[in-house]
Amino acid sequence: MTGRMPLEGYRVIDLCVVWAGPFATMLLGDLGAEVIKVENPFVFQPLTRGAMAHPPAAMIENSPAWSGGFPRNQLGPRPWNYGPTFVSIFRNKKSFTVDLRRPEGLELLQRLVARSDVVYENNATGTMEKLGITYDWLRQANERIIFVRVPAYGSSGPYRTARALGVHLEGVMGHTLLRGYEDTDPSANTAIYSGDYLAGAQGAFAVMAALWQREKTGEGQLIEIAQAENAASMFTQAIMDYTLNRRVQGTIGNRDVFGRAPCGVYPARSPGTAEASLDRWVSIHCTDDAAWEGLKRAMGSPAWAEEPRFATNEARAANFRELDALIGAWTAELEDYEVMRRCQAEGVAAAPVLEASRTFDDPQLRARNFFRRQRQADAGEYEYLGPMWQFGETPVEFYQPPVMFGEHNDYVYRELLGCSEEEYQRFQDAGHVAMEYDASVR
Amino acid sequence: MQAFDDVTVLDLTCHVAGPYATRLLADFGADVIKIERPGGDPARALGPFQGDAPHPEKSGLFFYLNCNKRSVVLDLKREAARSALLRLADRADLVVESFRPGVIERLGIGWETLQARKPSLSLISVSNFGQTGPYRDYRASELVLYGFGGEMYSMGLTEREPVKMAGTAALFESGSAVAVAAAGALFASRRFGIGQRVDISLAETQLGGVDRRHAAAIGYQFSGRRMVRTAGAAAGMPGGIYACADGYVDFNGAGLYPDRVLDMLNSPEWALDPKYADPLARLNPAIIEEWNANFIAWCIERTKREIWTEARRARVLCGPLFTMQDMYEDEHFRGRGFWQKAEHRLMGEVEMAGRPFIMQQGGWQLRRPAPLLGEHTQEVLREAGVSEAAIAAATGEGVLR
């Protein structure tokens, strides 16, 4: 190991909200960039550090684990520092507070921009403009700045002002009608945010493309990621089927988009009910005839598997309901991991559909040291999901635990911005420097 | 000029995730040399096909994933092919591969060989579960990886099986994660001369992503609570998916801003009942149901586009559920120049989704359509100084020219 990181020495200002933007800056932090979250003690941005600064206890109790599962099931004094929906993407970032609605706050931001390489924002259209933050304004402070904006539908066109989370723009891009069970209406579809994954990762990629370009030209630039457009590639099969064949694809549940069968999710022996999240499921996918032969062996070569109705892929795909029922009768008697072992031993793709808590017990993830323990002063010490890649020489570590609101005010005000003691005191008295939200914030 | 136009990538990946990552590099200028086995990338055999007729040069999926690349056919079982490949590696900044773990070493072109030849070169290895651990040889597919690594368990109806995303969406997510790692490796190499092996487990790129999994996992760590499968049906005031006159509209999270919802509805008398204004009303199923009875009546009288127009005016979180035809014909995306056409020798004009993001300089360009199998074998090997005799020995017979 070299002790170096690919993006060390670059500084990124994070004006992001919700998931897509913060995921991008987290990845840049993972690769060694210094990421500084800019936060406002007078404004609680919904869906960035939680739903509310001080949510009522009843709201937490009635919310699912991913939003209501607070440490030890208590809200604690500063819920914004460890809301489960967001806390994992606070790693490898610094936080400083400033009220950007006031002129002196904007001036502080401009001073920080002068010492930075990238400004990244994914707010609702118009939010930055209302504060006076535009590309031209940033360039006044730093000609070489790279400014990334992530409007839901782009900065032009009839939908430019539409408000959206990832789930809404996936609906517009066709995903919600393409996924889900075949025999229910789309309201059976759970809200998901795959577009936030794509736009976040590609936002980090875009920043690196612009930095690479700047190394050659010396010039910064403005980048626009219209999140809806960005999401489109995920649905390539459906898009190309439309552009090539004018076919409108619909949902096929868990079946293979390329028609290879069997492909599905089957019941495994369960220690409890679905209501208790103790039902177990295992996926099995035969991607060619050899895999089907393997699955037959894994199942103990049952007589039904030799019937002509399952003899070819075409036949298996046509008779998938009968086939799935027979495979399901086999899996239902076994533990999900046992199904995986038997299938994989015969070269068949299979794995448990893991409920999140069980990832922490998985032998593969343990063998690869995937998880990372992190201690944050307010939350305590817990194990978090790990990084997406293993670099041989510049390993991704979680050198900064999930950052607390205002944790790096000292560093940013004093070291980076060079504030004098008197200046710092003045900003503190004016409420810019804080580790709590103002009393007026709910 | 494009951002990565000074970068050469030797691309030994196939199927979806790896090729999507290298396409992103190619789209922003990298010279991506796609090495295909005789017979080609298996994605050439995956649909949709133009005219529904399977043909190795007419897969819409392969086309989309491989635009802007050059195709070289090498039979890596041949010694001459392996030495030609090393000549190409000498000129590359990055090698990306998705063989099963252990295969690249067996072929004699593994990390130690590459590092000895060119220390600043990085090797990105993409596999199902990683290069190490008890599952390293395990098979997988998009369904299997997403079920294991992504937050699929909580998708669907409580009484039914978990249900995945459409198509191979998870592999496009993972491919994006591979592209970020590839760019990171380029920075380490160009700035500090560091070449390295990057071991990417597609399963871990699902676990490490931002779509709900991290939150479900830490929510459990914090509280011991688990995610239950819950459908997206109407809930909240409003929240979830609603039927309308001509389809469906998604109002997830809209109830967070009650004033905007009132504005969207033009403040009808029923919605002004003060009991709806109490923040705790959002937790009372009876009140939610009563509110939704009125709201559903409002939705069902309007089309999805009419509803979205009202929602946009009032800044309400909302998205109509479009079909691919709706989206393709939509004036917004069309007017922004999102759709792009490429001319292909066998398919003719092919239309597809365009840029993933817009850069002012050095940005996305469609420079060439997806390559025919082996279209650039001669050209690329000649550029690398491989002799005509060695080219013949490396490619073997049956190579399309």
Tokens of B329: 């014909």
Judge: B208–A351 Cβ closer than 8 Å, yes or no. Answer: no
Nearest residue on chain B to A29, alpha-carbon basis? B184
Nearest CB to B333; choose among A4, A87, A229: A229
Q: Is residue A69 within 8 Å of A84, Cβ to Cβ?
A: yes
Separation of alpha carbons A48 and A42, rounded Å? 14
pLDDT tens digits for A354-404? Answer: 999 999 999 999 999 999 999 999 999 999 999 999 999 999 999 999 999
pLDDT band for position B5 (cuts 50, 70, 90): very high
C-alpha B259/C-alpha A370 separation (Å) is: 44
Select from B180, B216, B331 the Cβ nearest to the Cβ of A158: B331
Identify the residue whose tokens are 């070289």.
Answer: B72
Question: Which of A237-246, A397-406, B284-293, B370-379 is predicted with the least confidence, judged by mean pLDDT?
Answer: B284-293
Q: Are residues A16 and A139 in the same domain?
A: yes
**Do A296 and A199 share a structural domain?**
no
Each residue of B189-227: pLDDT tens digit? Answer: 999 999 999 999 999 999 999 999 999 999 999 999 999
B125-168 pLDDT, tens per residue? 999 999 999 999 999 999 999 999 999 999 999 999 999 999 99
* Residue in chain A nearest B227 by alpha carbon: A65
Q: What is the CATH number of the domain that holds A413?
A: 3.40.50.10540
Lowest mean pLDDT among B63-67, B336-340, B390-394: B390-394
Q: B8-211+357-395: which CATH number, 2.40.70.10, 3.40.190.10, 3.40.50.10540, 3.30.300.90?
A: 3.40.50.10540
DSSP annotation of A411: I
Question: At which residue do the structure tokens 């099969």 appear?
Answer: A237
Residues A108 and A193 in one domain: yes
Q: How far apart (Å, rounded) are the C-alpha atoms in residues B88 and B66?
A: 19
Beta bridge partners of residue A148, listed in sequence order: A120, A223
- Identify the domain boundary among A353, A383, A415: A353
∠ Cα B346 B351 B354 (to 5°): 130
Residue A6 covered by a domain: no
- Co-location of A199 and A223 in the same domain: yes
Q: Do B336 and A229 touch (CB under 8 A)?
A: yes
State chain B's mean pLDDT as an integer.
95
Residue A56 tokens, joined: 């009522």
Which of A353, A381, A416 is at the close of a domain?
A: A353
CB contacts of B130 in chain A (<8 Å) are 364, 368, 390
Token reading at B220:
């459990």
- Identify the weakest region by mean pLDDT among A53-67, A178-192, B44-58, B122-136: A53-67
In the prediction, which pLDDT does B233 show?
Answer: 73
Residues of A in contact with B65 (CB under 8 A): 236
Distance, CA of B161 to CA of A299 (rounded, Å): 21
Percent of chain B scoring above 70 in pLDDT: 99
Residue B88 has pLDDT above 70, yes or no: yes
- When pLDDT is averaged across residues A17-30 and rounded to a whole number, the result is 98
Shared domain for A124 and A267, answered yes or no, is: no
Q: How many domains does chain A have?
A: 2
The whole-angstrom distance between A49's CA and the closest CA on chain B is 12
Give the number of other CB atoms < 10 A from CB of residue B301.
Answer: 11
- The Cα A191–Cα A194 span in angstroms is 10
Q: Are residues A376 and A346 in the same domain?
A: no
The torsion defined by the Cα of A390, A394, A398 and A404, in degrees rounded to 10, comes to -140
CB A226 within 8 A of CB A154: yes
pLDDT band at A1 (very low <50, low <70, confident <90, very high): low
pLDDT band, residue B254 (cuts 50/70/90): very high
Model confidence at B397: pLDDT above 60: no
Flag whether A241 is in a domain.
no
pLDDT for B232 equals 74
CA A305, CA A296: separation in Å to the nearest integer?
7
CB-CB under 8 Å, A344 with B356: no
Examine the pLDDT at B52 and tell me if it is beyond 80.
Answer: yes
Residues on chain A touching B28 (C-beta within 8 angstroms) = 209
Question: How far is the C-alpha of B46 from the C-alpha of B39, rounded, in Å?
Answer: 13
Same domain, A327 and A383: no
Looking at residue B400, what is its pLDDT? 37
> Residues 6 or more apart from A109 whose CB is under 8 A from it?
A13, A38, A98, A100, A133
Q: Which of the two residues, B278 and A179, has the higher pLDDT score? A: A179
Indicate whether A290 pLDDT > 90.
yes
Contact predicate B37/B396, CB 8 Å: no
| Residue range A84-115, pLDDT digits in tens | 999 999 999 999 999 999 999 999 999 999 99
Q: Verify that A193 and A121 share a domain, yes or no.
A: yes
Q: Could you tell me if residue A252 is inside a domain? A: no
Per CATH, the number for B241-328 is 3.30.1540
Residue A119 resides in a domain = yes
CA-based nearest residue to B62, from B77, B80, B84, B47: B47
Side chain identity, residue B116: A
Chain B hits for A203, Cβ within 8 Å: 357
Q: Do B333 and A379 touch (CB under 8 A)?
A: no
Per domain, the residue ranges of chain B are: 8-211+357-395, 241-328
Over 60: is that where the pLDDT of B399 sits? no
Q: Verify cis geometry, omega within 30 degrees of 0, for the bond prior to B238.
A: yes
Asked whether B30 and B185 are in contact (CB, 8 A), the reply is no
* pLDDT > 70: percent of chain A: 100
Asked if pLDDT for residue B19 goes beyond 70, the answer is yes
Across the interface, of B52, B176, B220, the residue whose CB is closest to A201 is B176
Burial class from Cβ neighbours inside 10 Å (0-12, 13-18, 19+) for residue A141 reads middle
- Which among B60, B163, B218 is the nearest to A241, CB-wise? B60
> Does the pLDDT of residue B398 top 60, yes or no?
no
| Residues whose CB is less than 8 angstroms from the CB of residue A217 and which lie 6 or more positions away in sequence, other chains included | B1, B361, B362
ipTM of the predicted assembly exceeds 0.90 = yes
Nearest CA distance, A111 vs chain B (angstrom): 25
DSSP letter at A183 equals: T
The whole-angstrom distance between B70's CA and the closest CA on chain A is 21
Over range A174-178, report the average pLDDT.
Answer: 98
Enclosing domain of residue A284: 263-353
Which CATH number belongs to the domain containing residue A299 in this structure? 3.30.1540.10
The angle, 0 to 180 degrees and rounded to 10, between the axes of the packed helices A289-298 and A336-345 is 130
B180–A205: do the CB atoms touch at under 8 Å?
A: yes
Q: Which of A175, A205, A265 sits opposite B183 (nearest CB)?
A: A205
- Tell me whether residue A18 is in a domain: yes
Residues A315 and A204 in one domain: no
User: CA A266 to CA A333: how far, in whole Å?
Assistant: 11
Q: A167 vs B20: CB contact, 8 Å cut-off?
A: no
State which residue of chain A sits closest to B351, comparing Cα positions.
Answer: A243
Picking from B58, B69, B72, the residue whose alpha carbon sits closest to that of residue B19 is B69
pLDDT of A2 higher than 90: no
